[in-house]
Amino acid sequence: MTTSPEQKTVQTRTNAHAVVAVHSAKGGVGKSTVSVNLAVGLAQRGLRVGLLDADIHGPSATLLLGNADWPDPGPEPNTIHPLKAHGIHFISMGNIANKQTPLIWRGAMVHNMLSQFYSQVLWPELDILLIDMPPGTGDALLTTAQADPPSGVIVVSTPQELSLLDTVRGVRAFRDLNVPILGFVENMSFLSCTGCGYEDDLFGKGAAEAVAEQLGFPFLGALPIDSVICDSGDAGVPFVLARSASASVQAMNAIVDKVHAGLDDLDVLGAWSLEWAELDWLTRVAEPPEQREAAGYPLRALWQVSRDELGLMWADGTTQIIGTRPLRLACPCARCVDEISGEPLLDPDTVPSDITLRVVKSVGRYGLAPVFSDGHKSGIFSFPYLRALGAPG
Ligand SMILES: Nc1ncnc2c1ncn2[C@@H]1O[C@H](COP(=O)(O)OP(=O)(O)OP(=O)(O)O)[C@@H](O)[C@H]1O
């Protein structure tokens, strides 16, 4: 994965309690099919769901959701409203590009377009924003991580050896960005004969599950090869909406239930944050929901000590005070630290001496994501990393 010089901080208007990426390192394995059905399935369970189709070269959401309308313009120049379909909000290049437009774009153009999906789409408040990632581990992955660091990633793979090799590569890329893997979905797992029910393990059913187990990640479920999945995709009606007892609909619903339960476990839906203030900072204290402490959450409170100092109280009662500039200089994200060598990439002279914070958001159960006043926000600071940053105050 490379950082091109054109890449800049991405401003975002996303307004979601949780951002979850759906990724497959290999193309055509059914990642968009899983994304769309997961989004609609979670909406059926009462969540406010958005879907950002980040596959700029090969957008699918427009077709799979059956809405090819142009987005309505927003009240401010260069802003648009997301589209709606089957109870979710979504945006896709397929709703913006002319069908005849060849989508052969350079990395920087993809980055710019994707950044606009974050900065110019007027997302409503969402419980969860799913990002349908393009295949591979290219620039889109970095743009996504910079714009709004995902709380987790769902990995989609078919069971073939070749697909799994790529999948492991993709998992490493997310691990380097400190994004936790929420689980694996095995698509096109087997072929079931609608006549006699005979199952043909065409590609080696269970291989993706075995890899998930080997790597220590949850397995979310397997989807069969089913013409209903393909036909409903072509018809723009997600198959999870079918009121049928078919094996694929049941399997998809089981996957949605597991993801839903996983979001609760990760506490991403009960996300909390601390808004920073220029004045009046003594009133700025944020406390995580009480039940978290019982569940072993390591942080008891977060507060603004002064204009440029952040206070943390850990569950064992110790407090720690960290200056906002040292915090910015310690950012562990892929733009500030070389992913492979671990060498620092951030030039300290580029960090303003009077830097402060705008907001500090919780990320799952494992850390905090600060948004700094210079616009930088791609760093996820795990709790152990934060604790190691400074002696208790
Ligand atoms: N389990 C399945 N059974 C039958 N057809 C499927 C299944 N999963 C996906 N498909 C079909 O395979 C095609 C590719 O699926 P999809 O677009 O979801 O893959 P993708 O991984 O997102 O592709 P891309 O790499 O282009 O982003 C679509 O026509 C879809 O309907």
- Tell me the pLDDT tens digit for each residue of 121-148: 999 988 899 999 988 766 677 777 666 7
> What is the pLDDT, as a whole number, of residue 99?
54
Compute the distance between CA of residue 322 and CA of residue 331 in angstroms, rounded to an integer. Answer: 13
Is 294 annotated as a binding-site member? no
The atom of ligand 1 lying closest to the CA of 223 is: 1
Phi-psi region of 30 (alpha: psi -120 to 50; beta: other; left: phi over 0): left
Domain ranges of the chain: 16-268, 272-389
Check: CATH 3.30.2020.30 for 272-389?
yes
Determine which helix (DSSP H) or strand (DSSP E) holds 184, and give its type and residue range. strand 181-186
Minimum CA distance residue for ligand 1 atom 31:
230
How far is the CA of 295 from the CAs of 152, 187, 292, 315, in angstroms? Answer: 20, 33, 5, 11
Burial 253-290 (b: 16+ CB within 10 A, else e): bebbebbbebbeebbbeebbebebeeeebeeeebebee
Alpha-carbon Rg for the chain, nearest whole angstrom, is 21
* Domain boundaries 16-268, CATH class: alpha beta
Tokens of 20: 């979850």
Determine which helix (DSSP H) or strand (DSSP E) holds 381, and give its type and residue range. strand 381-382
> What is the pLDDT, as a whole number, of residue 184?
92
> What is the pLDDT, as a whole number, of residue 392?
45
Dihedral over Cα of 346, 348, 354, 360: its sign: positive
Is 27 annotated as a binding-site member? yes
Picking from 31, 22, 41, the residue whose alpha carbon sits closest to that of residue 87 is 41
Is 28 annotated as a binding-site member? yes
Note whether ipTM > 0.90 here: yes
Residues with CB under 6 A from ligand 1: 24, 27-33, 55, 58, 60, 135, 187-188, 223, 225-226, 229-230, 233
Tell me the CA–centroid distance for residue 233 and ligand 1, in Å.
8
> What is the pLDDT, as a whole number, of residue 310?
94
Compute the distance between CA of residue 143 and CA of residue 116 in angstroms, rounded to an integer. Answer: 11
Is 245 annotated as a binding-site member? no
> What is the pLDDT, as a whole number, of residue 8?
44
> What is the pLDDT, as a whole number, of residue 393?
43
The atom of ligand 1 lying closest to the CA of 226 is: 3
Tell me the CA–centroid distance for residue 37 and ligand 1, in Å.
12
Residue pair 353/325 in contact by the 8 Å Cβ criterion: yes
3-state secondary structure of 319: strand
Residues of the chain with pLDDT under 70: 1-13, 98-110, 137-139, 145-147, 162, 193-198, 200-204, 243, 264-271, 291-295, 339-340, 391-393
Is 31 annotated as a binding-site member? yes
Tell me the CA–centroid distance for residue 32 and ligand 1, in Å.
7
The atom of ligand 1 lying closest to the CA of 24 is: 21
